[in-house]
Chains A and B, each alone.
Chain A
Amino acid sequence: MPATHKSISFEELKQKVKNLLNDVGLQRVADRPARLISGGQKRRLALAMELASAPTLLLCDEVTSGLDPQSETEILNLLHQLAQQKKCLILNVTHSLNHLELYDSITVLYQGHLAYHGPSAYLLTHFGIHHPENLFPTLLSQTPENWSAHHWTTSETESHISEENREEMPTIASPLRQFFILLKRRLLLFYRDRSQFALHLLLLFLFPSLVVLFAYRGLPQIQNLNMGQDINLIQQLKETVMFTAQTSKIGSLVSGLILFQVILLTLMASNNAAREVVAERLLLEKEKLAGLHISSYLASKILFLSFLVLAQSSWMTLFVKTICRFPGPLLPQFFLLTLVNAAVTATCLAISSWSRTTEKASLISLYIVGFQLPLSGAVLALPSWLTHFVQPFIATYWSWSGMLQTMRTERLYDLVIAISETALSPLLLCYWVLGAHTLLAIFLAYLGCWRSAWDN
């Protein structure tokens, strides 16, 4: 990491390189260009480069392939030493059966089936062979399923791990503890990623400001039509023309302000969650293998995203309401803006959990937000046959419709109704649908996190 480089002086760096070369036994060729050293030495150099970051886990894939027997022995001895002295967990995938005694634990996979897992000392006994070289021919003598069954039945009785060792084995943290650790990690990463932090802050304050630009002096008052019958036809016509123009202007303004708030919140929602899982997918897969509970992982994500959603929605509601004197009750409007933000955030989280790349997740999330505006029916009414198919899935419509319903007792509501051809839905139904979007998307995100992404 750049921060680490900056914190180490040149002398310290030099000493560190020297120590690493000593560790891998390359001190004698330290001044020689890499292209001039042997194959075994190049492997050692590659190992030294990996060790520079002081890893606690080292994954080696066929690290001794193509080496002469002496180099192979040296590399395996070196890995063994590192495992013992540096307390580094080393996983070596190999087809070589030499020096099995240097491994603490051996796993034999046969066509994807687990044929053996245990100490090297029991390997030969387990397969009934006298020499490791006989392992591959012996494996071929039975089907992978048989070997797997054999392993599971014998592992019960062989009991390779002594009671003492069992106590020393690390235990998997409880789901609750995992949740708190993951949440702490996420908050720390959020704080450390200054560019993301700044972007969130910018959107948080900029977007509500964009909304109030259109009505920073508040909303206009309405001049009503004459209710009596004591005016002549010409006056009635004049009044009607004036009222129609007023309805169009003020109704569009109110509907637009609501829609603008909702759309900007969905944009923030997309920014909140589109990269959340996919950006750390490899890490998630590794942690799953180490015993991570998906529910803990997802719960930490949900809580973290809830902070963002609440901050964005509450600021949007309060700021617009205060500056524009937006009519209607505060709490229901806050709930509706929070719910639409939560629904789209959860949807983008689900997209993130099912996507293969961050680019794809971001693009799909942006499309989802982009389609909200035309398909909401708030600007242009959709054809009736399309409305029934599309409307249930458009979170923007439910929030816009619900926001208008909260203003039902206001005169402004009548003006919006007069110009809008899209029918509004009851407030309770708006809450329900947005809640359903959120719940379903969270469940899909759970399934997305649960699936294996190693094939990616």
Chain B
Amino acid sequence: MPRRASAKHHPTIWIFVVGLIVILGAGGYYLYCNVNDPFRTLQPLDVAVYLENSNSLRGNTYKIQASIQNSLAWSPNLGRLFSVAMESGEPLPLLVPAQFNQINLQKGQKFFFKIKISEKGILTVEDLKKS
């Protein structure tokens, strides 16, 4: 057999290379879709519905992405009440319970919030991650 012929790569090698790229790319895409949003399984809060009739949503859990605006009230036992701005610009009141007191929340910081709408229609934070 000629020496040069054996020195060339078999076509299956290149198929393997393409396959490897596809697998690595698909893995990356899967991570991109699933890791980017920490609360991906939650439904986003419909602000218009909430503002119109918050009682209708009570007991439900949603996610929102918003930035901290002002501190409205603070209690060592109940937690902190903030006004936050949604990405669309609408302001919302948000109660961050005392269990998150150790987290330094500052004006302008953006967060993913997992929120539960309590009995009186108050948005209570169950979990939060910086965005």
Residues of chain A having any CB pair with chain B under 8 Å: 112-114, 148, 224-229, 243, 392, 408-409, 411, 413-414, 417-418, 425-426, 428-429, 432-433, 436, 439-440, 443-444, 447, 450-452, 454-455
Instruction: Assess the B21–A148 pair: CB atoms within 8 A.
Output: no
Interface string of B16-33 (1 = CB under 8 A from A): 010011001101100110
What are 20 contact pairs spanning A and B, CB under 8 A? A225-B106, A225-B108, A227-B68, A227-B107, A229-B72, A392-B25, A392-B28, A414-B106, A414-B109, A417-B110, A418-B108, A426-B35, A428-B35, A429-B31, A429-B32, A433-B28, A443-B20, A450-B9, A452-B8, A454-B7
Residue from B35, B71, B72, B130 in contact with A413 in the complex, judged by beta carbons closer than 8 Å = B130
Query: Which of chain B's residues has its CB closest to A414's CB?
Result: B109
B17 touches A444 (CB 8 A): yes
- Residues of A near B21 (CB, < 8 A) are 440
Contact in complex: A451, B9 (CB < 8 Å): yes
Closest A residue to B68 using CB positions: A227
Which bracket fits the contact residues of B? 20 to 34
Tell me if B70 is interfacial: C-beta within 8 Å of chain A: yes
When the two chains form the complex, which single residue of A114, A229, A413, A436 contacts B24, counting CB atoms closer than 8 Å?
A436
Q: How far is the CA of A428 from the CA of B110 in the complex (A)?
A: 20
B15 on interface, CB distance cutoff 8 Å: no
Q: Please give the distance in Å from A290's CB to the nearest CB on chain B.
A: 14
4 more contacts with CB within 8 A, not counting A112-B2, A440-B20, are: A228-B71, A243-B108, A409-B130, A425-B32
Contacts of B32 in A (CB 8 A): 425-426, 429
CA distance A24 to B25 in the complex (A): 63
B 57-109 contacts with A by CB, 8 A = 68, 70-72, 104, 106-109
Contact indicator B70/A426 (Cβ below 8 Å): no
Min CB gap A234→B, angstroms: 17
State A452–B109 Cα separation when bound (angstroms).
57
- Mark B26-60 against chain A: 1 for CB-CB distance below 8 A, else 0: 01100110011000000000000000000000000
Question: Which among A225, A429, A450 has the highest number of chain B CB atoms within 10 Å?
Answer: A429
Is the Cβ of B7 less than 8 Å from the Cβ of A432? no
CB A117 to nearest CB in B, in angstroms, measures: 12
Closest CB pairs A-B (n = 6):
A452-B7, A112-B2, A227-B71, A436-B24, A426-B35, A225-B107
| Residues of A contacting B107 in the complex (Cβ-Cβ under 8 angstroms) | 224-227
CA distance A226 to B20 in the complex (A): 52
Q: Taking the nearest CB of chain A, how far is it from the CB of B116, in angstroms?
A: 23
Question: From residue B18, how far is it (CB to closest CB) to chain A in Å?
Answer: 11
Q: A229-B70, A450-B9 are in contact. Are A443 and B17 (CB under 8 A)?
A: yes
- The answer to whether B28 touches A429 (Cβ under 8 A) is yes
Q: Which residues of B lie under 8 Å from residue A225 when comparing CB positions?
A: 106-108
Is B120 an interface residue, CB under 8 A from the partner? no
**How far in angstroms is the closest Cβ of chain A from B57?**
27
B7 adjacent to A426 (CB under 8 Å): no
CA distance A368 to B123 in the complex (A): 50
Q: Are A451 and B71 in contact (CB under 8 A)?
A: no
Contact B106 A411 (CB under 8 A): yes
Contact among A114, A429, A443 for B1, CB-based, below 8 A: A114
Interface contact A426-B28, CB-CB below 8 Å: no
Q: Which chain A residues border B13 with CB–CB below 8 Å?
A: 447
Cα distance, A433 to B28, chains bound together (Å): 7
The answer to whether A439 and B24 have CB atoms under 8 Å apart is yes
Task: Report B-chain residues with C-beta under 8 Å of the C-beta of A426.
Answer: 31-32, 35-36
Contact residues in A for B106 (Cβ distance below 8 Å) = 224-225, 227, 411, 414
A225-B108, A228-B70 given; A428·B31 CB < 8 A: yes
Residues in A neighbouring B109, C-beta threshold 8 A: 414
Residues of B within 8 A of A392 (CB): 25, 28
- Distance of B85 from chain A, by nearest CB (Å): 14
How far apart are the CA atoms of A71 and B104 in the complex, in Å? 93
Docked CA distance A428–B71 (Å): 33
Closest to A152 in B: B1
Measured in the bound complex, the distance between the Cα atoms of B10 and A450 in whole Å is 11
- CB neighbours (8 Å) of B35 from chain A are 426, 428-429
Q: What residues of A have a CB within 8 angstroms of the CB of B17 in the complex?
A: 443-444, 447
Closest CB in chain A relative to B111 CB, distance in Å: 11
Q: A432, B31: Cβ atoms under 8 Å?
A: yes
Complexed CA–CA distance, A303 and B68 (Å): 49
- Roughly how many angstroms separate A114 CA and B4 CA in the complex, as a whole number? 12
Contacts of A227 in B (CB 8 A): 68, 70-71, 106-107
Shortest CB-to-CB span from A444 to chain B, Å, is: 7
CB distance from A402 to the nearest CB of B (A): 12
Known: A228-B70, A414-B109, A428-B35. A447 touches B9 (CB 8 A): yes
CB distance from B102 to the nearest CB of A (A): 10
Q: In the complex, what distance in Å separates the CA atom of A433 from the CA atom of B27?
A: 9
Provide the residues of chain A in CB contact with B9, threshold 8 Å. Answer: 447, 450-451
User: Chain B contacts of A418 at CB under 8 A?
Assistant: 108
